[in-house]
Amino acid sequence: MEQHRLDEAYAFCETVCRNASTTFFSSFSALQPDKRRAVHAVYALCRWVDDIVDGDEEPTILETKALKEATEIRQAVVSELHGGAAPSLSLDEHRRRMMALVDIRIKLQRASDQEITAEDHPIFVALQDVFTRYPIKLADFETVIEGMEDDLYPVLNQTWDELRSYCYKVASAVGLILIEIYGYEDRAARLHAIDLGIQMQLINVLRDINEDMERGRVYLPLEVLASHNISLEMLENDSIAQTLAWKGFVVEYVDVIKRHQTSANHLFGYLGSRARVQPEIMADAYTSILNEIVRRSGDVFTQPVKLSAMRKALLGFRLSLRKLRARLFA
């Protein structure tokens, strides 16, 4: 691969990251340049997959015979995993998004096997280079895509274990990819990275209840809700936020998050001074969101939960301090 094409591919990934989230993008800046470019490529792929599933990006793919056959095979597997349930979207729309995910699976395999060419999408051009530089695992990317496939169907988690499984797929697996780029010496780091992903995704789930329900997804464990006398129908009424039942559920939910957080916080000690800046900042950001939810007594219904301008400025200040510390002690 010619260097100028590789540089263009990484620049594309960097632009995706910058446009998607200023908090994420800024937190990557403490990394060494090669590691930062690799993280941009991983994040760009995850953003792309997420946008395809949520309908924020229209998939454009070349429907070859081989791709159609591969999609049929994968669809049969996914349908069986979901007990033959009907997808959330029309069959035609579902098929197009499923085919786009299968196409990404195939190209990730090609990137892992060093078969990507300069004519391929820049994200895969960049990722092929990442596969040569770092011990990232194709299986972790496939786990992320599997989690996104789940979102093409109505989601009704029943238990904590089902919710944790989803969090692992869409968040922890990403963390496992990233720490291979960051570098670590003790494999215990992987266990704590898993808990960091679960912690952050649990917070996302609580924060985004309204948005997810509009898409036919209820990630909150229904059996746990029922133990607090909360039905699925009750979640459709914003007034639930003021009930003792909901407040009791939130207390239990926050307690579960904090148990994962206790383990997640140990991750930072396994990473180098520059590598730990990014997960520390993201953990701070998500903890701030959780604190805001607690301050509202669990009301995530009546208005969106967002970080205030002051809180974002404080996170930016902490990022600057951590970057300075990382440079001094690198």
* Per-residue pLDDT tens digits for 38-55: 999 999 999 999 999 987
Rounded Cα distance, 53 and 249, in Å: 29
Q: How confident is the model at residue 329 (pLDDT cuts 50, 70, 90)?
A: low
Q: How confident is the model at residue 308 (pLDDT cuts 50, 70, 90)?
A: low
Do 270 and 329 share a domain, yes or no?
A: yes
Do 21 and 134 share a domain, yes or no?
A: yes
pTM of the model: 0.90
State the average pLDDT over residues 300-315: 72
Do 160 and 147 share a domain, yes or no?
A: no
What was the pLDDT predicted at 316? Answer: 58
State the average pLDDT over residues 77-87: 92
Count how many domains the chain has.
2
Least confidently predicted of 126-130, 150-154, 276-280: 276-280
What was the pLDDT predicted at 311? Answer: 60
Rounded Cα distance, 75 and 168, in Å: 22
- Residue 13: domain span: 1-153
Do 109 and 18 share a domain, yes or no?
A: yes
Return the percentage of the chain with pLDDT > 70, whole number: 92
Both tokens assigned to 116: 């990507």
Do 108 and 94 share a domain, yes or no?
A: yes
Do 223 and 108 share a domain, yes or no?
A: no
State the average pLDDT over residues 195-204: 96
Cα of 284 vs its chain's centroid, Å? 16
Do 175 and 125 share a domain, yes or no?
A: no
| 134 within 8 A of 180, measured Cβ to Cβ | yes
Which one of 153, 186, 214 terminates a domain? Answer: 153
What was the pLDDT predicted at 244? Answer: 96
Nearest to 96 by CA among 125, 135, 55: 55
Do 319 and 171 share a domain, yes or no?
A: yes
| 28 within 8 A of 17, measured Cβ to Cβ | yes
What was the pLDDT predicted at 328? Answer: 52
Q: How confident is the model at residue 58 (pLDDT cuts 50, 70, 90)?
A: confident
Nearest to 174 by CA among 152, 200, 208: 200
Do 55 and 144 share a domain, yes or no?
A: yes
Which one of 153, 170, 198 terminates a domain? Answer: 153
Nearest to 53 by CA among 158, 170, 141: 170
E strands along the chain, which residues? 155-156, 217-218
Q: Which residues are 155's β-sheet partners?
A: 217
Do 79 and 106 share a domain, yes or no?
A: yes
Is residue 323 scored above 60 in pLDDT?
no
Do 63 and 193 share a domain, yes or no?
A: no
Q: Provide φ and ψ at 203, rounded to 5°.
A: -65, -45
Q: Provide φ and ψ at 218, rounded to 5°.
A: -125, 100
Do 127 and 267 share a domain, yes or no?
A: no
